[in-house]
Chains A and B, each alone.
Chain A
Amino acid sequence: MAQVSSLRIEDVDLANLDVFVQGRQHEIWRRLRAEEPIHWNPGNDRFIPFWSVTKYADLIAVSRDTTTYSSQQGISMAANPADPTTTVGAGKMMIITDPPRHVRLRRLVNKGFTPRATALLEPSVREITRKIIDDVAPRGSCDFVTDVAALLPLAVICEMMGIPQEDWPMMFELTNQGLGSEDPEYQTVPGSGPETAARSRREMFAYFARQAEERRRERRDDLVSVLVESDVDGESLSEEELLFFCQLLILAGNETTRNAISGGLLALFEHPEQRARLQHNPALLTTAVEEILRWTSPVAHMMRYVTRDTVLGGQPLRAGERVLLWYPSANRDEDVFPNANQFDVGRTPNEHIAFGIGEHFCLGASFARLELRVMFEMLLARLPDIAPAGPVDRLRSGFIGGIKHMPVQFTPQPASV
């Protein structure tokens, strides 16, 4: 029987992060899309008020107009003026920078992330994935997030940046503290998200300052070396810009794909008929990956600052207000996707915007697609009866649709030879 929602529009509050821990966000977005697609969300002691933008067409319109909608006042809802966490990198970290500066920063590294460049990494991604699965296969059970999903994107971005393997666990922890700073499990300063995030940033900066110094003494074939030698408008990156760049690559490179992998497996658990379809027909892998991206949309939102009075989807907006672009909502917009609330591994066409669109389109999109395809291909082949062994533990965050822990079990398999 269809569940009748008792939710009242006036009670909607997406600044209350309990919504995301409880997994109620899609119910809320669905309601907003139907009744109030651009919805004024009151603030609280942590977050200042914002407009929730929930429809696909409106997200696209905002993403295309970087003049009216700026990224330089921070890109997440943790944007209380008293909390500098989200604006501290404005104009310095690529994702918090508008064009034309953004274009120049991006051109420093984007050749390394094109589909063609990414394809060259496939043998390495396959080898990493094989080792990850080898490690858990004989055990018969594991925490899918920390033992499998997190390890592949972490290894790929760390190898690109030339971070020694013994430091990868620390990068994992600092990422959790940086992007999961509102979650008590990751807080190094109990009760304080902003202080936890700031501490994570300081530690990452100190680490990358040392890494950069090593590259200045001796160049290597890695992204940190590229950044050290970089030239933007005849000037090299400042030390601070370089450190923000490294932090961005690490955060974006490992938290997002991790959650597409674990969220994707969860979707397959919750839709056994779709899982069977995929396992019987591996040729569906490409469309399945796109559907997993649409369904999980791990980056829940980006924030934009309204620079001048304007109208969006019929709603007047005033200069100085903030809009939050809810990607998982746009990706289930009933006006764009037939049967939008059904998970369909063969969905075609599937023009989701899980990676955003336009100026800030995810630099690592090709990497994410490669990692997802290889992971699901090898996982379903090697551990074909993988199944849930307990409830998932969701991240307390309105920014990242995250899963912290996900117990799974399977018939033990020998490690590959």
Chain B
Amino acid sequence: MRVIVDRDRCEGNARCVLAAPEVFELRSDDQSYVLIEHPGEDLRPKVEEAARFCPRQAISLIEE
């Protein structure tokens, strides 16, 4: 699984950081950054929650 944040859409709501702090980090430019681009299966529920509830639907999960 690969995690991507769409730079055009992210507005720093940080819902992803709440769901999966291991994977996402909000930086001073008010954008969320992916810390683990290929998270393990143990993190899948958290990452899926992040993608599902992102207010801007800015997170894509790509199966590999």
Partner-B contacts on A (CB < 8 A): 63-64, 103, 107, 110-111, 113-117, 351, 355, 357-359, 361, 365-366
A to B CB contacts below 8 Å, 19 in the list: A63-B57, A64-B57, A107-B8, A111-B30, A113-B11, A114-B12, A114-B30, A115-B13, A115-B14, A116-B12, A355-B55, A357-B55, A358-B56, A358-B57, A359-B9, A359-B57, A361-B56, A361-B57, A365-B55
Is the pair A117, B55 in contact by a Cβ cutoff of 8 Å? no
Question: What's the Cα separation between A388 and B8 when bound, in Å?
Answer: 46
Question: What's the Cα separation between A264 and B19 when bound, in Å?
Answer: 27
How far apart are B48's CB and chain A's nearest CB, in angstroms? 13
Smallest CB gap from A63: residue in B: B57
Contacts of A115 in B (CB 8 A): 12-14, 30
How far apart are B19's CB and chain A's nearest CB, in angstroms? 11
Contacts of A116 in B (CB 8 A): 12, 30
Question: What's the Cα separation between A238 and B13 when bound, in Å?
Answer: 30
Over the window 13-31 of chain B, the binary record of Cβ atoms lying under 8 Å from chain A Cβ atoms (1 yes, 0 no) is: 1100000000000000010
Smallest CB gap from B6: residue in A: A103
Over the window 38-64 of chain B, the binary record of Cβ atoms lying under 8 Å from chain A Cβ atoms (1 yes, 0 no) is: 000000000000000101110000000
Contacts of A355 in B (CB 8 A): 55
Contacts of A366 in B (CB 8 A): 13
Where chain A touches its partner, the secondary structure class is helix
Smallest CB gap from B29: residue in A: A111
Question: What's the Cα separation between A113 and B56 when bound, in Å?
Answer: 13
How far apart are A59's CB and chain B's nearest CB, in angstroms? 13
Contacts of A351 in B (CB 8 A): 53
Contact of B11 among A63, A64, A110, A357 (CB under 8 A): A110
Smallest CB gap from B15: residue in A: A351
Smallest CB gap from A110: residue in B: B11
Q: A116-B30, A359-B56, A365-B13 are in contact. List 15 more A-B contacts (CB 8 A).
A: A64-B57, A103-B8, A103-B9, A107-B8, A111-B30, A113-B11, A114-B30, A115-B12, A115-B13, A355-B55, A357-B55, A357-B57, A358-B55, A359-B9, A361-B57
Smallest CB gap from B9: residue in A: A103
How far apart are A64's CB and chain B's nearest CB, in angstroms? 6
Question: What's the Cα separation between A110 and B56 when bound, in Å?
Answer: 12
Contacts of A63 in B (CB 8 A): 57
How far apart are B57's CB and chain A's nearest CB, in angstroms? 4
How far apart are A155's CB and chain B's nearest CB, in angstroms? 24
How far apart are A353's CB and chain B's nearest CB, in angstroms? 9
Contacts of B9 in A (CB 8 A): 103, 359
How far apart are B28's CB and chain A's nearest CB, in angstroms? 8
Contacts of B11 in A (CB 8 A): 110, 113-114, 361
Smallest CB gap from A104: residue in B: B8
How far apart are B49's CB and chain A's nearest CB, in angstroms? 10
Smallest CB gap from A365: residue in B: B55
Contacts of A103 in B (CB 8 A): 8-9
Smallest CB gap from B12: residue in A: A114
Smallest CB gap from A349: residue in B: B53
Contacts of B30 in A (CB 8 A): 111, 114-117
Question: What's the Cα separation between A355 and B30 when bound, in Å?
Answer: 20
Contacts of A357 in B (CB 8 A): 55, 57
How far apart are B42's CB and chain A's nearest CB, in angstroms? 21
Question: What's the Cα separation between A351 and B49 when bound, in Å?
Answer: 11
How far apart are B41's CB and chain A's nearest CB, in angstroms? 23
Question: What's the Cα separation between A107 and B12 when bound, in Å?
Answer: 13
How far apart are B63's CB and chain A's nearest CB, in angstroms? 18
Question: What's the Cα separation between A281 and B13 when bound, in Å?
Answer: 27
Question: What's the Cα separation between A110 and B12 when bound, in Å?
Answer: 10
* 5 A-B pairs closest in CB distance: A114-B12, A358-B57, A114-B30, A361-B55, A103-B8
Question: What's the Cα separation between A215 and B13 when bound, in Å?
Answer: 31
Smallest CB gap from B56: residue in A: A361
Question: What's the Cα separation between A187 and B14 when bound, in Å?
Answer: 42
Question: What's the Cα separation between A163 and B12 when bound, in Å?
Answer: 27
Question: What's the Cα separation between A113 and B13 when bound, in Å?
Answer: 10
How far apart are B32's CB and chain A's nearest CB, in angstroms? 11
Contacts of B12 in A (CB 8 A): 114-116
Q: Which has the most chain B C-beta neighbours within 10 Å: A114, A351, A366? A: A114
Contacts of B55 in A (CB 8 A): 355, 357-358, 361, 365
Question: What's the Cα separation between A115 and B31 when bound, in Å?
Answer: 11
